[in-house]
Structure 1
Amino acid sequence: MITINKLTKSYKKFKAVDDISLTAKPGEITILLGPNGAGKSTTIKSIAGLLNFDGEITICGHRNKTVEAKKIFGYIPETPALYDFLTPWEHAQFIAKAYKLEDTWKQKIKDIFERLEIYDRKDKYVREMSKGMTQKLSIAVALLIDPQAALFDEPLVGLDPKAINEVLKIFEELKSQGKSVLVSTHIIDTINEVWDRAYIMDKGKIICDITREQLEGRDLKAMFFELTEGDAEECRQ
């Protein structure tokens, strides 16, 4: 479970995130939506432990910056944080050593690489790989540790349709395993069939928290634009 309680983050006099709370529950796919400047990126970086903030963030009951939390947390950033002069296989070796994984990691990463169609590039330098390939590598190494909670920041950007379909299947599999999945995205149409709970942010606040059941056949994309463009006064649940 990923839990945010009263998160506030300011940059000098500008309050990027204003006292928000949200929960990504086990066995659910939770999505975070918002226009540019809504505070999504600040929220994501706070969860990942990359920023100082006021409030509390926990990963499966552990404060997000603790070693206990990091052991069970997978983070896929919007821009892959990889080493140009390491190969995909060397990235996997690095993660396996850092997390003290058992020898079975080699077969596991081979399976993930093959599934995401990057195994044939496992010995290429990252600097020689496309945006889509590095995105898939970022997802692969995050999955290698078998995280109990996973945070995906714009994971579908740069992927071809086949890869997008595979990543959506991965979301569903993590959900079926009882994992917590939080996805920050602006591609509502693509993820529309798999989400369970949606949080909509605007101007640093959560302006809507709604489940698929509460949506009752209404269109999430239409609701998003109504709320963020000021045509609706409230999130109707």
Structure 2
Amino acid sequence: MLRCHELRKLYEDHLAVDGVSFSLAPGNIGGLVGPNGAGKTTTMRCLAGLIPATDGSLCVADCDLSHGGATTLMELKRRLAYVPDDPPLFDDLTVAQHLEFIGRIYDVPDHRAKSAELLDYFQLGDKINAGATTLSRGMRQKLAICCAYLYDPAVLLLDEPMTGLDPPGIRRLLESIKQRAAAGATIIISSHLLAMIQDVCTHLIVMQRGKLQYFGDVDQLRAEFPGAQSLEEAYFEATAALSV
């Protein structure tokens, strides 16, 4: 469902992503982790078709982006949802109007009922008539996630989705990610909070300075470092070993 092979992205004289390869199957949840400037967001934007790769091949939701033209990118938009860390909303629309818009352009059957369920789940039901500019940072994040979920994309790319969320909101988000994966979606969640996402991820994608430092099954990483008390400790041991 998602394959990234030798991805490189060059911005003028800065190599932001350097030869990154990994693949995820339907039902997999990949945790994309690494320090600031590791190339995580650039990788996700390439996978989302928002920026072209300098080199390498990408296949996302059965869409080959290696030589993708407008038709391929349009088809990708039907099958993928990308939620950036600061999701752009329409300032002139209310919460309800955002979901109405998404429901119509994606031709979602019974979209109003699905919208109501999503708003209730993410505790936004009482904000249905609120304008986007009146929402808190966390509420804007929840609304963007509701919009992404509404049309049931095959691939979900979530870049720092827990930013601004309170603990109940984080719990509901992580529960919903597991539910989406169980239904067959392929998901990448980028986060600095490995301790928060370690219980939902099936795979880890670790990047440093634009390079892939580790990719593999979460259980495999735990097995390689049996002395680690948590996945976070195993991550630090792995990156320290690979940096030598």
TM-score range, shorter chain: over 0.9
**Residue 87, structure 1, aligned to residue 70, structure 2:** no
Partner of 1:44: 44
Partner of 2:196: 190
Q: What is the DSSP-based 3-state SS (H/G/I as helix, E as strand, rest coil) of the residue aligned with 1:233?
A: helix
Corresponding letter in the other structure for 2:36: N
Percent identical pairs in the alignment equals 33
- Residue 31 of structure 1 deviates from its aligned partner by 0.7
Pick one of 45, 52, 70 that aligns with 2:77. 70
**Residue 100, structure 1, aligned to residue 107, structure 2:** yes
Give a deviation string over 1:185-235, Cα, whole Å, max 9, x none: 11111111111100100011101112122122543312333455xx32369
Partner of 1:55: 56
Corresponding letter in the other structure for 1:73: L
Does structure 1 retain, via aligned residues, the 8 Å contact 2:49–2:73? no
Does structure 1 retain, via aligned residues, the 8 Å contact 2:81–2:148? yes
Does structure 1 retain, via aligned residues, the 8 Å contact 2:205–2:215? yes
Count of residues in Structure 1 that have an aligned counterpart in Structure 2? 232
Partner of 2:18: 18
Q: What is the DSSP-based 3-state SS (H/G/I as helix, E as strand, rest coil) of the residue aligned with 1:111?
A: helix
Partner of 1:221: 232
Does structure 2 retain, via aligned residues, the 8 Å contact 1:63–1:69? no
- Residue 174 of structure 1 deviates from its aligned partner by 1.0
Q: Which moved more, 1:135-144 or 1:41-50?
A: 41-50
Give a deviation string over 1:106-150, Cα, whole Å, max 9, x none: 000100000001111011110000000000000000000111111
Q: CA RMSD in A?
A: 1.6
Provide the rounded CA distance (Å) in 2 between the counterparts of 1:24 and 1:182.
9
Corresponding letter in the other structure for 1:56: S
Give a deviation string over 1:68-119, Cα, whole Å, max 9, x none: 22111111111111111211111111111211222x1100010000000111
Partner of 2:170: 164
Provide the rounded CA distance (Å) in 1 between the counterparts of 2:219 and 2:234.
15
Q: Identify unmatched segments of 5+ residues in structure 1.
A: none
Provide the rounded CA distance (Å) in 1 between the counterparts of 2:80 and 2:89.
17
Corresponding letter in the other structure for 1:89: A
Q: What is the DSSP-based 3-state SS (H/G/I as helix, E as strand, rest coil) of the residue aligned with 1:66?
A: helix
Provide the rounded CA distance (Å) in 2 between the counterparts of 1:84 and 1:143.
20
Q: Identify unmatched segments of 5+ residues in structure 2.
A: 66-71
Q: Which moved more, 1:109-118 or 1:1-10?
A: 1-10
Q: What is the DSSP-based 3-state SS (H/G/I as helix, E as strand, rest coil) of the residue aligned with 2:59?
A: strand
TM-score (norm 2): 0.90
Q: What is the DSSP-based 3-state SS (H/G/I as helix, E as strand, rest coil) of the residue aligned with 1:147?
A: coil
Partner of 1:33: 33
